[in-house]
Structure formats: structure tokens, C-alpha cells
Amino acid sequence: MTSTLFNLSFFLAAPFWALMILAPTWRVTRRVAASPLIVLPAVAVELVLLVPMLAEFWPVVTRPTLAGLQQLVTSPEALTALWAQIIAWDLFVGRWIYLDSRERGIHPLVMAPVLVFTIVLSPLALPLYLLIRLPYQTESRRSDTPEPALGRSMA
């Protein structure tokens, strides 16, 4: 079952990635991506695994040590829960990158490789995107209104 949940965590996120990468200008994509709730399927996989192991997880996350984390991830269930968390976080970051790039008018052909890179290595893709977006201004910046917050819907 753990192996199935491991695979399921990505397969539940994949349709959202496909929309943002393959159909970025489709208005349905924009509506779907506008909701931060798209991360919930991966979070649900994490919770299915995490809740029964909360007693083992809690000490590691509240008083983290390398040795404690190493011991925790020897469990396939714990490692799969962490994997699902990574998938959810990558999708959340990718969602923000997608929405921000659409608002800034960055061409989808520029953004597709950035979003693929976000799936693979979001900690490197995010600063890359922050550099790419520098020359682009948003409508809100041009009119001196605040930029939308990371978690807020941009419908």
C-alpha cells in the first residue's frame, strides 16, 4: 500500500502540472490554478500516512536532528509521507510561479521549462524564476497597487 501511495502522490498532482505546462492560456487552467486547494490531493496522501505515525514524527519535527530524521526515514511510510509533502509543496510553488508569470505576461514557451524544473527541483527553480521575472512588470505594479499574496486566489 505504501508504494501505491508513493506513486499516487505524484499522479494526483500531475493533472495540475499538465494544465499549467501544456495548456497555460486556457481559461480553465487559470481557474483551476487560482485555487490553492489543488495541493489537497497530495496533502491527503501525506495525512493518510502521517496521522498513524504522528507519535514518531512529532519529536523529529519539533526537535529536529540529523540522526532523528535519518532514523525516521528508514520507515517506508515516513519517507512516503515526506515525499507527498514535497509533491504538495512543489505544486504550491509551481502554482504561484504559473499565476505570477501569467500576470506578468511571460510567454508560456519560456515558462514551460521553468515549470518542469519546478517539478524536479523547486528549490533551484524558484530563484531561477525570480530572475526571469525581473524585467516583467505586472499591471498592479504599473498602477501602484500591491502585488497579490502567495496564497491568495487570483481569479
Task: List the chain pLDDT tens, one digit each, 155 residues.
Answer: 899 999 999 999 999 999 999 999 999 999 999 999 999 999 999 999 999 999 999 999 999 999 999 999 999 999 999 999 999 999 999 999 999 999 999 999 999 999 999 999 999 999 999 999 999 986 655 555 555 555 554 44
Q: Cell numbers of 25, please?
A: 492560456
**Model's pTM, two decimal places?**
0.84
> In sequence order, which ranges of the chain are alpha helices (DSSP H)?
2-22, 27-33, 40-50, 54-62, 66-72, 76-104, 108-132, 139-142
Phi, psi of 150 (to 5 degrees): -55, -45
